[in-house]
Chain A
Amino acid sequence: MESKAHISIQNLNIYYGKDHALKDINVEIPKKKITVIIGPSGCGKSTLLKSFNRLLDSVDNVKITGKVLVDGEDIYDPKAEVTHIRKKMGLLSQKPYPLPMSIYDNIAYGPRIHEERNKKKIDKIVEHFLRTASLWDEVKDKLHSPASQLSVGQQQRLCLARGLAVGPEIILGDEPTSALDPRSSQNIEARFQELKQQYTIVVVTHILRQAKRLADYVLFLYGGRLIEYGPAHEVLENPKEAMTKEYIQGVIS
């Protein structure tokens, strides 16, 4: 792998009760690249993504074995502090969930819980990240109106800005455009292309064309197993595994 690993997953196994959701995953996610996780629904894509920032902790009966190293630190180490780990990653979910507060407060929520009290600094953070998410021009006159009034596409960009405002190194997207119209999806994809200069991005998608547009690396999961992983053009154009080929051709789904 030409660039350094940012997230390194070693022998990861995840069980929901008796259901073995992820089986022996070993993979290294490179720094400042876009890695796209593809695979049919129910194959464990979202589970893998959520294991990166320990969002599975709150799920009942979940059992996780193996290691997930972020910057060389095992995040499942009992001594690791979960809020610190999550602060390193911004999450975009399938559907945007703005917090029940104003646009401004949505962005300020993260910095505020991480002890940023300086009003001027927060003002700056809010403006900066709304600009990064290319939302500033649309909302600058109504920063203090409820975030729920925005359109779904705007809400997703708000969630992106909100995630960036805590200063993460990694952006996780769990099918982040599945609830959006084509133009808003394009907008989000364009943001990802800009952001990969500074951030490591991992996106789950079931849209192959989106994977082709975005991915530097592609990771194909099937039935909880990692089938193939490598640079995007290799996996998508010349897959080594027969299963990957069949999935890309639409034979299996």
Chain B
Amino acid sequence: MVQGGVIITMHKHAIEENVFRVLMIASTLLILSVLLLILGTIVIKGLPYLSWSMITQAPKSGYYLGKDGGILNSILGSLYLTGGATIMALMVSLPVTLYLNVYAKKKSRLVYMTRFAFDVMWGIPSIVYGAFGFTLMLFFGLKASLLAGMITVAFLILPVMTRSMDEVIRMVPPPLLEASYALGATRFETAFKVVVRQVMPGISTAVLIAFGRGIGDAASLIFTAGFTDSIPTSLLQPVATLPLTIFFQLTFDHP
């Protein structure tokens, strides 16, 4: 009887193992097939239209594609805008994270509230950032432009960048900071010469994640970046970006 019981429980375990194995394999396959579908659709539908002029020229006639010229204006516009926004966000988030981790008291209310505020900001939909940027523009008398778009996207990616940077800087072992203090270094020297160097890979990752979040966003730019068929030559000119191009392409009728 006892032996029979052991065999039955082992049998149960084996079933459990198998059920979960099948489930895991199935979900992996599901994800992979979705990915392949997306990539496949893009390649199959897009490849015939991909030409050299597509990525080296601005559109020749008006805003819409499918005619002469290409989307160079949006490619460059996206890079300019997100590049500028990333630099702006970095100038805020690096000092903030260093403050949280090197200067401020570890368990103070301020530190807790700051982290919480960034978490909330992370959850705000990007269209809200767009509306916020728009009211800022009205307040400062700024037109829809590269600069306005940059500022809006900088707000949008600030929490992403700050929180990912914060996570890596938190991992710096306190005795490493102590080692630097013990040599007579100030907090400033410790922050910039030791902490930043120690977490450089993490900082680059945070910057890239933020850049990726910024370059894919359309909603925050609908009101703030304007749209144009030319490549902007000043911060105050309107700009086209790739997501905006897709958005306008899909929402408006072709003439």
- Asked if B197 contacts A166 (CB within 8 A), the reply is no
A95 to chain B: which residues have CB within 8 Å?
175
Q: Taking the complex as formed, is B193 at the interface, i.e. its CB lies under 8 A from any CB of chain A?
A: yes
- Residues from 87 to 104 in A contacting B, C-beta threshold 8 Å: 87, 89-91, 93-95, 97, 99-101
How far is it, in angstroms, between the C-alpha of A89 and the C-alpha of B182 when the chains are bound? 7
A113 engages B182 (CB within 8 Å): no
Chain B interface: which of A52-60, A205-213, A226-234?
A52-60
B43 touches A (CB below 8 Å)? no
Given contacts A60-B105, A60-B107, contact A159 B186 (CB under 8 A): no
Give chain B residues whose Cβ lies under 8 Å from the Cβ of A87: 183-184
Among residues of B, the one whose C-beta sits closest to the C-beta of A60 is: B105
B13 at the interface (CB under 8 A from A): no
Across the interface, B185 reaches (CB within 8 A) one of A53, A55, A90, A113, namely A113
A95 CB to nearest chain B CB (Å): 7
Q: How far is the CB of A157 from chain B (nearest CB, A)?
A: 14
Chain A residues whose CB sits within 8 angstroms of the CB of B194 once the complex forms:
99-100
B177 within 8 A of A: yes
Report chain A residues within 8 Å CB of B185. Answer: 83, 109-110, 113
Q: How far is the CA of A249 from the CA of B249 in the complex (A)?
A: 85
**B205 in contact (CB, < 8 A):** no
Contact yes or no, B184 A97, CB < 8 A: no
A166 contacts across to B, CB distance below 8 A: 183-184
For the complex, give the distance between the alpha carbons of A162 and B173 in Å. Answer: 19
Query: How many angstroms between the C-alpha atoms of A113 and B179 in the bound complex?
Result: 14
B174 to chain A, nearest CB (A): 8
Q: Give the shortest distance, in Å, between B178 (CB) and chain A (any CB).
A: 6
Residue of B nearest to A91 (CB): B182
> Does A86 lie at the interface of the complex (its beta carbon under 8 Å from any beta carbon of B)?
yes
Q: Does A163 contact B (CB under 8 A)?
A: yes
Q: Provide the bound-state CA to CA distance between A114 and B186, in Å.
A: 10
Tally of chain B residues near chain A (CB < 8 A): 22
- Interface residue count for A (Cβ, 8 Å)? 26
Q: How far is the CB of B170 from chain A (nearest CB, A)?
A: 15
Q: Are B107 and A53 in contact (CB under 8 A)?
A: no
CB nearest neighbor in A for B180: A99
Task: Using CB atoms, name the residue of chain B closest to A84.
Answer: B184
Q: A100-B194, A100-B198, A113-B189 are in contact. Are A86 and B182 (CB under 8 A)?
A: yes
- Docked pose: A95 CA to B181 CA in angstroms: 16
Give every chain B residue within 8 A of A159 (Cβ-Cβ): 179
A162 contact set on B, CB distance < 8 A = 179, 183
Q: Which residues 145-159 of A sit at the B interface, judged by CB distance below 8 A?
A: 159
Contact B197 A110, beta carbon cutoff 8 Å: no
Separation in Å of the B162 CB from the closest CB of chain A?
22
A47 shortest CB reach to chain B, Å: 13
Task: Known A91-B178, A93-B179; judge A110-B184 contact (CB<8 A).
Answer: yes
CB distance from B177 to the nearest CB of A (A): 7
Contact assessment for A97 and B176 in the assembled complex, using a CB-CB cutoff below 8 Å: yes
Interface string of B6-24 (1 = CB under 8 A from A): 0000000000000000000
Q: Can you add 13 more A-B contacts, CB < 8 Å, to A90-B182, A99-B179, A163-B183?
A: A53-B182, A55-B182, A58-B177, A60-B108, A83-B184, A83-B185, A86-B184, A89-B182, A91-B179, A97-B178, A109-B185, A113-B184, A159-B179
Interface residues of B (CB under 8 A from A): 105-108, 173, 175-186, 189, 193-194, 197-198
Pairs across A and B, CB under 8 Å, 15 listed? A55-B182, A60-B105, A60-B108, A86-B184, A87-B183, A87-B184, A90-B183, A91-B178, A91-B182, A94-B175, A97-B178, A99-B197, A113-B183, A162-B179, A163-B182
